[in-house]
């Protein structure tokens, strides 16, 4: 998605998105920038006459954890509370999905604020179909280069991963992503690793429209040439079902902290409106 001129924006005036429910399913990793994106997306939805509703799985989990602590006290480790509230969180999450995707007589956008790696798509799609078999499914994927590590590839770039590692290092008050910097980085790398050797077409095969969003700056300078090799070494150390070594995570944290990465935040409002209208109106004409 590139920034566009007013002339290009005017060219969409005669295009129309048919009424109905459009469900936006984020695909990515923690600290990608979904919260900032949602703020822009909400405004764009209003501009084109769509209602907008977002549900957030992390918020639901945070509420369930608070309720558990109120009932049972706070003597248990936070990770234990996290695990014990998983079943109830999922019940509410899927129930909420069915609610927000219900058939509408007007144009309605539902945003499901939860990352959806390949192993997390099936249950979400099933809940959407229970709530509205005719809902249009849209996978929001990062627009970026692939990362080739030698033995494997990933559909998200090294700059995207570096950006998310920088952000997650500073994220201390999240509902569900807590603990030391090392632990937060480990969770991020584990999530990223779920996309190993995955093409975005995987989601297209699940009957989703692929909608590419430049969540992160893909052009900032990587001044320390060692950053990429350290991160790739950590990714290659992953074994199924196991955390990478503490040594590998320490190396990642240290190289991120010492590299003084500077990246820009992107203004997507005009480009988002243009591509949204183009993509969804062209989808309706292809039906």
| pLDDT number for residue 287 | 46
CA distances for 89 relative to 15, 26, 63, 73, angstroms: 40, 19, 9, 19
DSSP string of 12-56?
TTT--PPSEEEEEEE-S-TTSSHHHHHHHHHHHHHHTT-EEEEEE
Assigned token pair, 36: 């900032």
Q: Domains of the chain (ranges plus CATH)? A: 6-264 (3.40.50.300)
Reference 147, options 259, 36, 262, 29; nearest CA is: 29
Q: What pLDDT, on the 0 to 100 scale, is given for residue 9? A: 45
Beta pairing, strands 147-148 & 51-56: unpaired
Instruction: Report how far residue 28's alpha carbon sits from residue 191's, in angstroms, rounded to the nearest whole number.
Output: 8
Distance of alpha carbon 111 from alpha carbon 134, whole angstroms: 16
Cα(98)–Cα(103) distance, integer angstroms: 10
Measured in degrees and rounded to the nearest 5, phi and psi for residue 25 equal -115, 105
pTM of model > 0.85? yes
**One pLDDT digit (tens) per residue for the chain, 287 residues:** 444 444 444 445 556 788 999 999 999 999 988 888 888 899 889 988 999 999 999 999 999 999 999 999 888 888 899 889 999 999 999 999 999 999 988 999 999 999 999 999 999 999 999 999 999 999 999 999 999 988 889 999 999 999 999 988 887 666 566 678 888 898 899 899 999 999 999 999 999 999 998 888 888 888 888 899 999 988 888 776 677 788 889 999 999 988 888 877 777 777 787 788 888 877 654 54
């Amino acid at each position: 998605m590139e920034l566009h001129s007013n002339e290009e924006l005017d060219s969409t005036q005669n295009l129309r998105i048919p009424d109905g429910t459009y469900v936006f399913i984020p695909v990515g990793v923690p600290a990608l920038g979904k919260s900032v994106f949602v703020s822009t997306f909400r405004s764009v939805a209003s501009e084109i006459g769509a209602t907008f509703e977002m549900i957030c799985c992390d918020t639901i989990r945070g509420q369930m954890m608070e309720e558990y602590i109120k009932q049972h006290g706070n003597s248990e480790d936070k990770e234990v509370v996290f695990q014990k509230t998983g079943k109830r969180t999922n019940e509410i999450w899927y129930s909420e999905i069915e609610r927000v995707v219900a058939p509408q007589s007007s144009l309605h956008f539902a945003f499901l604020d939860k990352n959806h790696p390949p192993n997390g798509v099936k249950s979400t799609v099933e809940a959407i179909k229970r709530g509205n078999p005719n809902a249009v499914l849209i996978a929001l994927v990062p627009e970026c280069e692939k990362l080739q590590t030698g033995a494997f590839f990933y559909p998200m770039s090294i700059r995207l991963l570096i950006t998310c590692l920088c952000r997650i290092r500073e994220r201390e008050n999240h509902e569900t992503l807590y603990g030391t910097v090392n632990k937060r980085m480990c969770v991020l790398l584990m999530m990223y690793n779920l996309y190993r050797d995955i093409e975005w077409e995987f989601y297209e095969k699940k009957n989703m429209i692929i909608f590419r969003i430049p969540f992160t700056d893909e052009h900032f300078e990587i001044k320390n040439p060692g950053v990429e090799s350290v991160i790739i070494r950590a990714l290659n150390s992953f074994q199924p079902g196991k955390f990478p070594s503490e040594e590998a995570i320490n190396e990642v944290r240290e190289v991120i902290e010492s590299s003084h990465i500077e990246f820009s935040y992107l203004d997507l409002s005009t480009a988002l409106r243009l591509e949204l209208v183009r993509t969804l109106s062209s989808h309706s004409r292809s039906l």
